[in-house]
Amino acid sequence: MHLALLVAFLASGPSLALANDVQTERGPSPSIEELRAEAAATLSRGEFSRARAQFEAILALDPHDAGAQRDAGRAAMAAGEFAYAARVLERSHHFGGHHRDPELHYLRGEALYALGDSEQARTEHRIAELELGVAPRERAPKLWLARIHARRGEIERADRIYESMSMPEATVPDSEVALNHADGHLLIKDWDGAERILRRFIARAPDNLRARQMLAWALEAKGALDAELEVRQKLAADAPSSSAYQDYGRALERAQEYNRAKRAYQSASALAAAPDTSLVEARARMQDRTSPEASAGIMARTDSAASGQHLQAGIAVPFGTRHLASLLAWHDILHQRFPVASGSASAVTGSLVLGTRFGGSLALSGQMRGIADVPTSNSTPLQAKQGLGFGGAAQVQTPVTRHVLLDVRGDFRTQWTDAPVAMLQGGRVTGITGHAFVFPVPTSKRVVIDSGAQARRLTLAPRDATAAAPEASQLLAWTGVDFILWHDPTQVLKGEILDESLLRGSGLAESVTLNLRHYELFGRYGDDFTSRIALLDRSSIENGTLVVRNVFLDGRFAFEAHVGLGWEHHRSQMLSQGGLSLLAMPTPKGRVVASYDMAQEVTTGFAGRRHIGWLSYHADL
């Protein structure tokens, strides 16, 4: 690239020195000098894009004007046009005769860092450092050198320069030094150090909006949500603008204060001349999360022993800051192949979800259910006639640290829904399930370690009203890891809805994920239990699943496809699974979900193929 520029320069005409001599003999060009003065005045007023265009007008008259190229690069840097700045600053250096110019190398290095070319950026900064010397005396060179040190992670050397430039406590603080000092710590993700410097400066200059904005960014990156909310709320009140309210809304959304976030986004929209796409979508997202939701669904499924048709309908109503109440009713029609039997099961579940601002929640559910008579082909009842049954569940989800999320669920005599045959036999579950999700890199969450265990007691309805209910026990343990191979958080399916249990949000963004798991199952079953439902008493499985999610047509349609293979050691058996879900948003307030899933179910003790087809509709009211 350097050789090409040099050849182009030599082929373009006389040398720079000769051109300057000719220009001196003929006198300065009035048109160029007038443009130069006008562009310099525009640059001094902070109109960076306009100044860049004016310097380009000079370059149209004289493409080899190194000074105009340099100033165009300075204006482009201030305007955030880094690719243009890097290109024109390099041309200025060549057409200027490769003279000593630490500012040019410093600016070009900053542009290259912004473009992601760290290796070449470090080279430019090394040249600037050598030209600046160990201890420059002027103010600007000191700031350049300090930032070069910070870019390389030499924060202590940067601190010494910044501290030497700080004003005494009795004088007005130097905002440029303080903000550059804090930004040096932000560059190396030293959030605590940046917060310390900014709070010290804000204590002396409480009206400096730039410092308060930087403090909010540092607190957000640090995960100090309460402190961030306080800063952003005051920023929105003291300097109301669309961006200030949008940033405040984002913080409220992360705190799961959806009603307040909706009001903040509405204020941001009112102050924006033309709200951008992200603001429009954020406002719609909060509208979805704060609106009552109704759903209805139908499912057909089969396993090796029975089949069933499932219908359900429910409604969920958000209340308070981040809470939810829901009511879900369902009815199943069930058929067993051998011995031939049929029956039905119905239930109503009421739930209350209490959320916390740090992403945790407590879900409490109560269930009322009924199982109809189940005759065999010779009219011998498989179970006694059931009246109403009652059960309940509680689930706690809470982050322990930024790296760990715990999820614990307890069930007491709830409906056993793993397979149609379990429902047909009046199955109930009492047990506890615990998950520990570990995020080695919490800022990206590209890797998630999932370990947990489930211990439960399974009970069937007795065949005789005086007989004891058959019981069994299971212990399932697993560990594994999820690798998010690719993720685009900007491509999200619109129309947020709750999951089919109407308890938690269900979102979908474009991604490719590889899930790896190892399962160990231990079971104990009595003869009276296994004569009615056959379950595996031992299994050990390795399983891998690839999940692909894609969003298209402006976020109104999406699909999720998954395919997996596994190996069961105790029976030396290959396992397989696969499925496809289609999601569509036909109206601004409705979403359709259609899915099909096939698996060789063994992790819960059932062997044989399982097929599930599902169709549901969710609508905001």
CA-based nearest residue to 535, from 478, 603, 609: 603
Distances (CA, A) of 207 to 198, 214, 314, 593: 12, 13, 51, 51
More confident: 400 or 18? 400
- Average pLDDT value for residue range 316-343: 88
Range name among 25-39, 50-64, 76-90, 209-223 with the lowest pLDDT average:
25-39
DSSP 256: T
Other CB atoms within 10 Å distance of the CB of residue 550 = 17
Per the CB < 8 A criterion, the answer to whether 23 and 65 are in contact is: no
Q: What is the mean pLDDT of residues 527-541?
A: 92
pLDDT digits (tens, 9 = 90+) for 123-143: 999 999 999 988 898 999 999
Q: Report the Cα 184 to chain-centroid distance in Å.
A: 26
Beta bridge pairs of residue 487: 511
Dig out the tokens for 292 from the structure.
Answer: 């009552």
Cis peptide bond prior to 141, omega within 30° of 0: no
- Please give the average per-residue pLDDT across 525-541, as a whole number: 92
Residue 424 CB contacts under 8 Å (≥ 6 apart), including other chains: 306, 308, 334, 335, 336, 341, 342, 343, 345, 374, 382
- Residue 526 corresponds to which tokens in the numbers above? 């009595």
Q: What share of the chain is helix, strand, coil (3-state, %, to 5)?
A: 40, 35, 25
Which of 55-64, 182-191, 410-419 is least confident? 55-64
In 161-182, which positions are buried (b, 16+ CB within 10 angstroms) versus exposed (e)? bbeebbeeeeeebbeebbbbbb
What is the three-class DSSP state of 602?
coil
Residue labelled with tokens 């940046």: 194
Q: Is-above-0.85 flag for pTM?
A: no
Give the pLDDT score at 11.
33
Q: How confident is the model at residue 4 (pLDDT cuts 50, 70, 90)?
A: very low
Whether the predicted pLDDT of 583 surpasses 90: yes
Mean pLDDT computed over 457-476: 88
Task: Tell me the pLDDT tens digit for each residue of 138-176.
Answer: 999 999 999 999 999 999 999 999 999 987 776 778 899
Q: Is residue 261 scored above 80 in pLDDT?
A: yes
d(CA 343, CA 333): 6
Task: With CA atoms as reference, report the closest residue to 424 among 349, 365, 337, 350.
Answer: 337
